[in-house]
Structure 1
Amino acid sequence: MNTSLIEIRLKRITFEAERISSFDFVSADDRSLPGFHPGAHIDLHLQPGMVRSYSLANAAAADPAYYRVAVQREPDGRGGSRWAHDKLRVGDTLWATAPQNDFPLDECASCAIFFVGGIGITPVLPMIRRLDAIGREWRLMYASRSHKETAFTEELRRIDAGRGRVCHFHDSEPGQRLDISATVATLAQTTHVYCCGPTRMIDDFLAATQARNPATVHYERFSATQQAAMEGGFDVVLHKSGARLRVEPGKTILDVLLDNDVTVPYSCCNGVCGSCRTGIIDGQADHRDDFLSDEEKQANQSIMVCCSGARSKTLVLDL
């Protein structure tokens, strides 16, 4: 087992909303868990070949007593959420990465507004707790399908404490749809805006904030906006060993690397987390991810091997 992984034990499962449960993990050997900042996630190794990223929902701390993740059961997903809901039991042990953060909170902003859809509330909970702790202004615009599908309502009520900072929007109720564009239009340019939710919400958010200072705009996607490159028909050359691997149709670069016992970090397999970022020595990538910026894609110096392919017949990777 990779020694960089942490062995954790499931201590508690809590029903949070319809199809959503939270899972609290403690250290399996009573050692201290690595600390984390708001917005961080861990990668859970649910079973061989099944690694999933989950945001941490408990209050950020330098020495946390536990890690809490929330999982929404997706019947038509890739299987990770179904496995977690159907197979995980209190007392089970798993391996996980130390917390990583691709969605950090800017604590210097005097005011922050959060636009959240469904399970996207997870990374935002420690953010608003932190902003409360340091005396910053914030508001939460929380959209979900219905009241019964809204997670962490009691916790949010306690955090809000009657201040009116938490606004709920339920798509199933007339006149309750969240209008991101109208809300953003009322905000001062110095206000930092955050979004975590499904693809459509992120797209609406980016359209509404395109005229704002990019330094004040923060978001995290659940999944990529493009299909993974699986057309195949090219070779991958490993620069360090010289090995040449054929990527056949129906396979991603990551599939081929793993099939040939090439060790490479990976997590989401959707091109959004950045875990599998790999350097390019030569060749032209077909970028399908939502992690690299347009400038980084144009520079063609790295590739997300989980979802991107090649426009050239050969792609030489820094592996």
Structure 2
Amino acid sequence: MSDRAATVVVATRRDEARDVVSLELVARDGGRLPDWEPGAHVDVVLPDGSTRQYSLCGDRWDAHRYRIGVLREPDGRGGSAYVHDRLTEGDTVGLGGPRNNFPLVPAERYLFVAGGIGVTPILPMIRTAEQTGAEWHLLYGGRTRASMAFRDELARHGDRVRLVPQDEHGLLDLAGFLGEPRADTRAYACGPPPMLAALADVTARWPAHTVRTERFVATETPPVRDAPFDVELARRGATVTVTPDRTVLQAVADVGVDVLSSCRKGVCGTCETGVLDGDPDHRDSILDDDERDTADSMFICVSRARGDRLVLDL
């Protein structure tokens, strides 16, 4: 993983579906880009200064080119509108990462579920499954057929890909697609919150670690306690108090400790920080239950403390 910002050039831009464009990014000097694995995303720093996260959806074996897919979001913060309306081939953008909160683990069989732009992290997973000889199937839903990106790319896989435009076929039949849990099977899903909530209901009896999801939208959870707490910065030798109206990220910045951050919503993983002592109140949308129980790191843009004190590796 690389956290150093780089400058890359938009080499190609292509319309992939209604309101979806793909961008291929190359190093300005034509050099090699950092290696990545399926499930990884990058931070893209746009010319207007805004930073957005996008899943890498190209060929991980192409060391000189990244591909991302960008959905126009009318109710977003403006980043997708900038990409769609102003970003053109030849423009430069900043690049951070890659980072991977959605890694593909080895399995004999994969069941992939994608909703809308959530298909982007699934594409390199399919390529890896193909290369390793694993059995796989994809259930891919969207509002309309015209809004579903990368359809032509997926068409070559035949009946292993099931396209389900909602206006033609209704909602995804998750129970019918997933069936009963099997020891040789891992399920991966990315899409809008209602789809992931329905998937959680269907797979509630599946064994731990057999279903992995990635969210593009943060899950809102209230803090465990609404009171100030102290954060000791072990390397700095300082202590800061975090009040209910401030995040840990903001509080440590007040004493000159700058932690790299991006989404500030607990979905990108950029601000992950080691926990040396104390009990974090995890409010992110990244960690699974076992990772939360281990409590050796937290995402300080949203997570807080269950007690009066935390000691962080800062």
Deviations along 1:114-152, one digit per CA (max 9) or x if unpaired, are 110110100111221222233332111001111121111
The alpha carbon displacement at 1:185 in A equals 2.0
3-state SS of the aligned residue for 1:90?
coil
1:263 is the counterpart of 2:258:
yes
Matching residue's letter, 2:81: R
RMSD across aligned C-alpha pairs, in angstroms? 2.7
1:132 is the counterpart of 2:130:
yes
Q: 1:155-174 alignment to 2 at 5 Å?
A: 155-157=153-155, 159-160=156-157, 163-173=158-168
The alpha carbon displacement at 1:193 in A equals 1.5
Q: Which runs of 5+ in 1 are unaligned?
A: none
Matching residue's letter, 2:75: D
Q: 1:74-89 alignment to 2 at 5 Å?
A: 74-89=73-88
The alpha carbon displacement at 1:41 in A equals 1.6
Q: 1:102-117 alignment to 2 at 5 Å?
A: 102-107=101-106, 109-117=107-115
- TM-score, structure 1 as length reference: 0.86
Partner of 1:193: 187
Partner of 1:243: 238
Matching residue's letter, 1:193: A
Alpha carbons 1:228, 1:252 under 8 Å: kept? no
Matched positions, count: 312
Matching residue's letter, 1:139: H
What is the CA–CA distance in structure 1 between the aligned matches of 2:299 and 2:288, rounded to whole Å?
12
Partner of 2:148: 150
Matching residue's letter, 1:29: D
Partner of 2:283: 288
Matching residue's letter, 2:25: F
What is the CA–CA distance in structure 2 between the aligned matches of 1:36 and 1:299, rounded to whole Å?
26
Alpha carbons 1:190, 1:216 under 8 Å: kept? no
What is the CA–CA distance in structure 2 between the aligned matches of 1:9 and 1:36, rounded to whole Å?
18
The alpha carbon displacement at 1:260 in A equals 5.0
Q: 1:201-220 alignment to 2 at 5 Å?
A: 201-220=195-214
3-state SS of the aligned residue for 1:275?
coil
Deviations along 1:188-221, one digit per CA (max 9) or x if unpaired, are 4422211111222222223322323334322222
> More displaced, 141-150 or 83-92?
83-92
What is the CA–CA distance in structure 1 between the aligned matches of 2:310 and 2:130, rounded to whole Å?
48
Matching residue's letter, 2:40: A
The alpha carbon displacement at 1:3 in A equals 8.2
Alpha carbons 2:21, 2:71 under 8 Å: kept? yes
Partner of 2:32: 32
Change (3 A) 1:146 1:193: same
Partner of 2:6: 6
> More displaced, 122-131 or 181-190?
181-190
> More displaced, 226-235 or 33-42?
226-235
Deviations along 1:46-104, one digit per CA (max 9) or x if unpaired, are 2586332211111221x423111011122222333233323322222222134332222
Alpha carbons 1:38, 1:59 under 8 Å: kept? no
Alpha carbons 1:209, 1:217 under 8 Å: kept? yes
User: After TM superposition, which residue ranges in structure 1, 4 or more long, deviate above 6 angstroms?
Assistant: none
Q: Which runs of 5+ in 2 are unaligned?
A: none
- TM-score, structure 2 as length reference: 0.87
Partner of 1:177: 171
Change (3 A) 1:29 1:22: same
Alpha carbons 2:266, 2:299 under 8 Å: kept? yes
Change (3 A) 1:294 1:140: closer
3-state SS of the aligned residue for 2:139?
strand
> More displaced, 233-242 or 113-122?
233-242
Change (3 A) 1:130 1:317: closer
What is the CA–CA distance in structure 2 between the aligned matches of 1:309 and 1:318, rounded to whole Å?
15
Change (3 A) 1:3 1:313: closer
